[in-house]
Amino acid sequence: MSNVVRLIPPIHELLQSKTLKHLVDEHNLNEPFVKRVIQQQTDQTRKDILSKELTFESREEVRDYILSNTKDSIESYMSNQIEPVINATGTVLHTNLGRARLSEAAIQRVVEVARHYSTLEYNKQTGDRGSRHDLVEQYIKDLTGAEAAIVVNNNAASVYMVLSAFSKGGEVIVSRGELVEIGGSFRVSSIMEESGATLKEVGTTNKTHLYDYEQAINEHTSMMMKVHTSNFHMIGFTKQVERTDLVKLAREHDVLTYEDLGSGMVYDLTEHGIGQEPLVRDIIESGIDLVSFSGDKLLGGPQVGVIAGKKEYINQLKKHQLARVLRVDKMTYAALEETLKQWIFINQNKNIPTLRDILLTREELKIRVKRFIERYLTYDDTSLVLNEKILSSKIGGGTLPEINLDSYGVTINSEQYTSKELKDLLRKMNPPIITRIEDEQVLMDFRTISENEEDIVLKKLVEIK
């Protein structure tokens, strides 16, 4: 055994090998990094020899073994951990796949601001220090009708900040029907606990009346909060209190009103027959003091939390310590500014991928699907059977859960592979193609595959033999 261990070549010798030299030159790797990986691989090999899991006949054999593992390890280390995928699931705001895709214009702005110094906290008019909180405020005001706004890291941060700033040590009244868990990790009750506010639940899961709120008010009450139930949709015998009634009651008792909107609609989807959600603007108009929503859901922008509402409260938030803790970076501001501008003055449904994808009609998708299948059939030696299929897709990200969008896509069948194997195979391609299985068949919903991704998908399917 110890004789076998003696066959392990020294590190400096391994480092000189052609295989590694080539890898180092090709990727401009630094020596300490390569040495460290060789060391790890050598140590592991020694352990495996001593525990009799491995044995070798010759020095060459050990050497090749360690070198091959070192190369694999370095290559796996260099591969990207966050990388683009083709979303063929049809779910537009897929939380696990990064939610909203940014518009081209927003992407360009991110690149510019990342490459250069910027006016992040610099007032170019006066040459004095500026505030990042002023960068996009006007655009949010224009879009929502709010008096003021501030941007934080994400919407969970918005909730945390609003509760910490205005209700620490106080009570917050929330309807039981709105205390749902969203997306597996967001719970108002937990965030409330962290913020130091006390949750005062009122009503029942399906019904909450105005008098439930009224009876819960006492000298410790600091806020009445409404929470969008997002990916939880209740039908049947339900009752929620009208926003305007709640605002009136809160005013009478001098307590704050805040609504966590989750997605936050700035574009009227009801005009396209989708859902029955009010616009952020309408909610602000109802007189509510503060609202918050995500940047990367229906807004179609980067991950942020937007808090909008009465100036007096937003000003307090801007001065709060948490504004520093939860502040967003310059690349995010660049993407957000451009996204907001597009909503305000560009023909949005062509330019904002999230909206464009939601509004795609089954007829439009059908044309693309037919053309795609025809193109696949022009290749020789293909092994898959593609068929068109009527589908229905979801918006996702906790947005309008009750809505099914009329969609269209392709089923993929193969003689060699089961559906599960095919789905795995597609996922392991470069770029990975994420599909879903329904009725034992692999499906690609074209709603979330953009036209310029079709060529890549086609090429990948042709590659499967």
Is position 230 an interface residue for ligand PLP (rule: CB under 6 A)? yes
Instruction: Give residues 148-167 in contact with ligand PLP (rule: CB under 6 A).
Output: 154-156
C-beta of 49 vs 100, nearer to ligand PLP: 100
Rounded CA gap, 42 and 296, in Å?
A: 46
C-beta of 132 vs 297, nearer to ligand PLP: 297
Rounded CA gap, 317 and 226, in Å?
A: 19
Rounded CA gap, 163 and 196, in Å?
A: 8
Instruction: Give residues 170-189 in contact with ligand PLP (rule: CB under 6 A).
Output: 182-183, 186
> Smallest distance, Å, CB 30 to ligand PLP?
38
C-beta of 45 vs 155, nearer to ligand PLP: 155
C-beta of 91 vs 294, nearer to ligand PLP: 294
Rounded CA gap, 397 and 195, in Å?
A: 24
Is position 356 an interface residue for ligand PLP (rule: CB under 6 A)? no
Q: What counts of helices (H) and strands (E) characterise the chain?
A: 20, 15
Q: Identify any residues that bridge with 174 across adjacent strands, giving them in sequence order.
A: 201
Is position 137 an interface residue for ligand PLP (rule: CB under 6 A)? no
Contacts (Cβ under 8 Å, ≥6 apart) of 179: 187, 188, 189, 199, 201, 227
> Smallest distance, Å, CB 292 to ligand PLP?
8
Q: Identify any residues that bridge with 433 across adjacent strands, giving them in sequence order.
A: 86
Is position 262 an interface residue for ligand PLP (rule: CB under 6 A)? yes
Q: Which stretch binds ligand PLP (CB under 6 A): 7-15, 120-128, 222-230, 335-343?
A: 222-230
Number of residues engaging ligand PLP in binding (CB under 6 A): 15
Give all strands (DSSP E) within 212-368, no chain letters.
Answer: 221-227, 256-262, 290-294, 305-309
- Residue 52: φ, ψ to 5°: 65, 20
**Closest residue by beta carbon to ligand PLP:** 262
Is position 435 an interface residue for ligand PLP (rule: CB under 6 A)? no
C-beta of 227 vs 449, nearer to ligand PLP: 227
Residue choice 137, 212, 259, 260 for contact with ligand PLP (CB under 6 A): 260
C-beta of 139 vs 186, nearer to ligand PLP: 186
Is position 265 an interface residue for ligand PLP (rule: CB under 6 A)? no
Rounded CA gap, 136 and 327, in Å?
A: 13
CA distance readout (Å), 99 to 57, 259, 346, 443, 448: 53, 22, 22, 20, 11
Residue choice 86, 135, 227, 307 for contact with ligand PLP (CB under 6 A): 227
C-beta of 177 vs 398, nearer to ligand PLP: 398
Is position 208 an interface residue for ligand PLP (rule: CB under 6 A)? no
C-beta of 4 vs 241, nearer to ligand PLP: 241
Interior angle at CA 133, CA 130 and CA 137, nearest 5: 115
Q: Is the peptide bond before 10 cis (omega within 30 degrees of 0)?
A: no
CA distance readout (Å), 451 to 85, 100, 342, 448, 454: 14, 17, 21, 9, 5
The residue assigned the tokens 């897929």 is: 94
**One symbol per residue from 44 to 83: x for binding ligand PLP (CB under 6 A), - otherwise; what is it?**
----------------------------------------
C-beta of 186 vs 258, nearer to ligand PLP: 186
The residue assigned the tokens 């592979």 is: 417
Is position 396 an interface residue for ligand PLP (rule: CB under 6 A)? no
C-beta of 23 vs 143, nearer to ligand PLP: 143
> Smallest distance, Å, CB 440 to ligand PLP?
32
CB 355 within 8 A of CB 182: no
* Beta strands 171-175; 221-227: pairing state: parallel
Q: Which helix (H) or strand (E) holds 433?
A: strand 433-434
Residue choice 305, 309, 353, 409 for contact with ligand PLP (CB under 6 A): 305
Chain residues in the site for ligand PLP (CB under 6 A):
154-156, 182-183, 186, 227-228, 230, 260, 262-263, 294, 305, 398
